[in-house]
Chains A and B, each alone.
Chain A
Amino acid sequence: MIKHYIKIAFRNLAQQKVLSGINIVGLSVGIACFSLFLLYAVSEFSYDRFHKNTNRIYRIVEWWQGEKREPGGYAWAYTPVAPAMKRDFPDVEYAVRLKGSDCLVKADNKVFHTSITFADTAFFQVFTFPLVYGNTQTALQQPNQVVITREKALLYFGTANVVGKTLELKTDTTFIPFTISAVAENIPANSSVKFNLLGSFEHIANDPMVQQSNLNWYMTIGMQAFVQLKPGSRLASEQNRLNLFRRKYYPDDYKPKKNPTKEDLIQTSFRLQPLRDIHMNPTIEGGNDPKNIWILITIAGAVLLIACINFTTLAIGRSANRAKEIGVQKVMGIRRNQLISQFLTESLLLSVLSTLIGLLLAEGLLPLFNQLADRQLTFSISRFPELAWLLLGLTLLVALLAGSYPALVLSSFKPIEVLKKKIRIGGSNLFTRSLVTLQFVLSIGLIISTIIILQQIAYMRTKNIGFNKENLVMINTERIDNKKIYPLYKQAIQHNAGILGVTASEMGLGAGEGQMGTGYRDYKGELQGVIEYPGDYNYLHTMDMHLIAGRHFNPALASDTTGAVIVNEALVQNILGTTPEKAIGIQILNAKGNRGTKTIIGVTRNFNFEDLTHMVRPQMFYRPAKFQPSRIFVRLQAGDPGSKLTLLNNTWKQLAPDAPFEYSFVDEKFDNFYKNENRWSSIAGWAGGISIFLACLGLFGLATLAALNRTKEIGIRKVLGATVSQVVGLLSKDFVKLITVALVLATPLSWYVMHNWLQGYAWRINITWWVFALTGAFAILVSVTTVSVQAIKAAMANPVKALRNE
């Protein structure tokens, strides 16, 4: 029986080449899209599952909760806390602290810039990172031992077998030799804990900063800490035990305050966050929002749905032609469920074929997708075993989704009526119409969203952000003796042709750069954060930031390096509550509410130093007496930067031969703020393009069927004098109506979604009506063109042929 079903299914596919083609192309594209996003989702949810003890590993987080503060956690760990937990809780098996640091590596006389992580010796007992060479028991025993990943070993030495070799590392001011104790397998992409080089925590234990933080339980030095609990321990859910622990070491937190400020009312506590939870928990700093994955899956599902709808509407549209076959089979005694099986076999066959083609397509598109998603994914069943049954389920789901409605409708025909041709089902019943409308609502909505996202990105890129970010090179001077080298470097390059200015700062600018801030009292007595920029005298000038009151720094005035600050408009407005003119000469109140030593000598116009989701925050510029810049900024003349960069590089090599010349363009660093937006616009754009393509593919099929089902009518109308354009109009009219309805539905829907999205930006565009008009015109144009191809063919046909056979 099944053999019979498959035989008939194959013949039907072969007989209806155009329709089968449309179905297979549509479903394969839909499945390709969906399986790519599925792979992405599976990989995102697979983070950190590969450790042997994953379920017993927790990260120590500090949890903040208050009346005026949304609850949330920070993954910083005070230096003494993890060892204290190990000491105090018998069910803590191991505790591991991780402290990352920028460093320069010298290997085989080449210098590289990378990062090193210092970890407690239990690291390899807690985390499962297999070693290629070396022994997990001894790898971190000595303070000057280092574990290197295979990838870095190959980069530095050209071989992976490097145990026993020496690396020179500079994390502070001098190169120190380290012995390689082990080589680790490359870190899986879906790991939250990552390292390039892994050193022993012992090595930094004597660092003054670490020692200080060991004594001051409130001092954070950018460290993370993990504990592994003994089997059966429920410490993570026993919050009262953790609170007692907190109370023991932070008694001050529990003393009542006389005049509590807003910050005093925030309750802080320690929590243990499961390792598995780190990547996908947005309430703790650094975690991703799983909402985004569901949005992606929804978009991919919409594309797939459009392809399935094509199958359904085309099958219904063709039913008139199949009615006779069904009638004959019914007369011969086929049961209804046998008919249903036969139709479902057809859709299953199609779905299996499409899944195979779709997976090939997805494999081909993977590099592009990886670029889009910023991941290195592979279709690996061994890495993601759940992928196998997800894809199998997808195949069945597609078959059912696409095939069940036609199977039910077609199998319900009554044989006598069918044979007497009383049944008329065209491509025009309400259900099919609704489905086609839905397809276009989705496609139009996606296209509108894409345009609006692109508009917002263009707006953010081109908005005047208050300083000149073009032709500005930023050189990373971390880990070099800047006090000495910066003046020499400036001296060496500043008078060359094409160099318009040189300055330096202790802070970088743009995406991925850190910020430094301190709290100050505002005029209402509240504490407010101020972002600080310790820079050279000519910093503001080189950046093209304009003063609106007061004066610039003057190198001739000694007092300018002790207490003079230039602030921005936001600080004047939010903290001082006054005007720029009146702000000059004011001394700012420090966090304790005392007149500090900082006197305002100038006010600069606001500039957007962060991405445009934020309003400009209060900012302060000053020239410290002990100036240790970590970034040098060079303003170039507009035009090809090639020769100027060569000059910068050569000069650098002479002055700092031990450090790599690392530079970036500040405008690119600012563009990088919008990486996510770019990704979303690409995703929405692709999805929109694919879905309109699929919807039109379906429309083409429906138009073919409509022309076929109306052959006789078209013939009569032509005999009655209809012209080709009148016939085309007749056939297109119905479809244009559907698309107009879709546009009417999609407009408020996408307006609402995009309006909400834009609320996330402090600086945003207004949604304009022409976006909708343009998209609507585009959709109608594309679909009319699609339909016309068929309609013109039908209209040009000789009517005699249509009317001849009776």
Chain B
Amino acid sequence: MIELKHISKWYQVGGKPTFILKDINLTIKEGEFVSIMGPSGSGKSTLLHILGMLDDANEGEYHFMDQPVHSLKEKQRSQIYKQHVGFVFQAYHLIDELTVYENIETPLIYQNVKTNERKAMVADMIDRFNIVGKKDLFPTQLSGGQQQLVGIARALIAKPKLLLADEPTGNLNSKQGEEIMDLFKQLNKEGVTIIQVTHSEKNAGYGSHIINLLDGRIEQGN
């Protein structure tokens, strides 16, 4: 599903490149549940952003479902991204001005899904996540765990093949965290490929595969 070849990312600092990712080679198959681990500043988030097509690499090739993402135009890339990728953030990043229902609906609006269809899809999702009673509340009226649940619902609403999560339990207490991880496991069983960045060994354990990053390189031996 995903193939990275010689991916590097750097910033120019005082004329010299400072590497954030250096020569990353990586293959992820459909249906895998991968955890990316590593200390702060090792490049985990950047790697996740590149995988999610939110950021470009300076060098290397990125193939997503047999498409050469690195050489695609912005428009085509955004098309692939909208159809196949969902994002979950550590800080949830819900839009404060919109209700739970509207937050979940937003990606569908940007994909030009018709109103009726949209209603049905959002209703299904709200049902499935057991948040029917909260659909008219605003994000600030929810607890952290509930907000993250909405964040995941929003990421899944467009039925993506790939779910990217940047420390999804980082702002939650352990019980809430477990619930989210159980949900990920469940989603993975249903066929969604998941890549998560995490600090926690325990959370990483939910996955089928762990990638360790150190100073922008993948540590071998696992």
A798 / chain B contacts, CB cutoff of 8 Å: 54-55
A800 / chain B contacts, CB cutoff of 8 Å: 49, 54-55
Q: Contact check, A720 vs B54: say whether CB atoms are below 8 A apart.
A: no
Interface residue ranges, A against B (CB under 8 Å): 712-713, 715-717, 719-723, 726, 798-800, 803-804, 806
Q: Which of A715, A716, A720, A806 has the most CB of B within 10 A?
A: A720
A720 / chain B contacts, CB cutoff of 8 Å: 106-107, 110, 154
Q: Contact check, B110 vs A726: say whether CB atoms are below 8 A apart.
A: yes
Q: Give 1 or 0 for each of B135-171: 1 = CB within 8 Å of chain A CB.
A: 0000000000000000000100000000000000000
Q: Contact check, B110 vs A721: say whether CB atoms are below 8 A apart.
A: yes
Report B82-118 residues with CB < 8 Å from chain A CB.
82, 87, 89-91, 93-97, 106-107, 110-111
Q: Contact check, B107 vs A721: say whether CB atoms are below 8 A apart.
A: yes
In the assembled complex, the Cα of A721 lies from the Cα of B154 at a distance in Å of 12
A719 / chain B contacts, CB cutoff of 8 Å: 54, 87, 93
In the assembled complex, the Cα of A803 lies from the Cα of B93 at a distance in Å of 8
Given contacts A713-B97, A721-B78, contact A806 B45 (CB under 8 A): no
A804 / chain B contacts, CB cutoff of 8 Å: 45
Taking the closest CB of chain A, its distance from the CB of B42, in whole angstroms, is: 15
B19 / chain A contacts, CB cutoff of 8 Å: none
Tally of contacts, chain A with chain B, CB under 8 A: 40
The majority secondary structure among interface residues of chain A is helix
Q: Contact check, A806 vs B78: say whether CB atoms are below 8 A apart.
A: no
In the assembled complex, the Cα of A726 lies from the Cα of B96 at a distance in Å of 18
Taking the closest CB of chain B, its distance from the CB of A220, in whole angstroms, is: 77
Q: Which of A721, A799, A803 has the most CB of B within 10 A?
A: A721
In the assembled complex, the Cα of A798 lies from the Cα of B97 at a distance in Å of 22
Q: Which residue of A lies closest to B49 (CB)?
A: A800
B82 / chain A contacts, CB cutoff of 8 Å: 721
Q: Which residue of A lies closest to B111 (CB)?
A: A721
In the assembled complex, the Cα of A147 lies from the Cα of B63 at a distance in Å of 100
In the assembled complex, the Cα of A723 lies from the Cα of B87 at a distance in Å of 17
A726 / chain B contacts, CB cutoff of 8 Å: 110
A723 / chain B contacts, CB cutoff of 8 Å: 78, 110
In the assembled complex, the Cα of A695 lies from the Cα of B154 at a distance in Å of 39
Q: Which residue of A lies closest to B91 (CB)?
A: A806
Q: Pick 9 A–B contacts, CB within 8 A, sort by A.
A: A713-B95, A716-B94, A717-B95, A720-B107, A721-B78, A723-B78, A800-B55, A803-B93, A804-B45
Q: Contact check, B106 vs A717: say whether CB atoms are below 8 A apart.
A: yes
Q: Which of B78, B93, B95, B106 has the most CB of A within 10 A?
A: B93
A722 / chain B contacts, CB cutoff of 8 Å: 110
Q: Given contacts A721-B110, A800-B55, list 5 more A-B pairs with CB under 8 A.
A: A716-B93, A720-B106, A721-B107, A800-B49, A804-B45
B81 CB within 8 Å of chain A: yes
Q: Which residue of B lies closest to A803 (CB)?
A: B93
Q: Contact check, B110 vs A803: say whether CB atoms are below 8 A apart.
A: no
Taking the closest CB of chain A, its distance from the CB of B51, in whole angstroms, is: 12
9 nearest A-B residue pairs (beta carbon) = A721-B110, A721-B82, A806-B91, A720-B107, A716-B93, A800-B54, A722-B110, A720-B106, A800-B49
Taking the closest CB of chain A, its distance from the CB of B162, in whole angstroms, is: 14
Report B5-61 residues with CB < 8 Å from chain A CB.
45, 49, 54-55
B87 / chain A contacts, CB cutoff of 8 Å: 719
Q: Contact check, B81 vs A803: say whether CB atoms are below 8 A apart.
A: no
Taking the closest CB of chain A, its distance from the CB of B103, in whole angstroms, is: 9
In the assembled complex, the Cα of A800 lies from the Cα of B53 at a distance in Å of 10
Q: Contact check, B111 vs A803: say whether CB atoms are below 8 A apart.
A: no
Taking the closest CB of chain A, its distance from the CB of B191, in whole angstroms, is: 22
B107 / chain A contacts, CB cutoff of 8 Å: 720-721
Q: Which residue of A lies closest to B110 (CB)?
A: A721
Q: Which residue of A lies closest to B75 (CB)?
A: A723
B154 / chain A contacts, CB cutoff of 8 Å: 720
Taking the closest CB of chain B, its distance from the CB of A426, in whole angstroms, is: 10
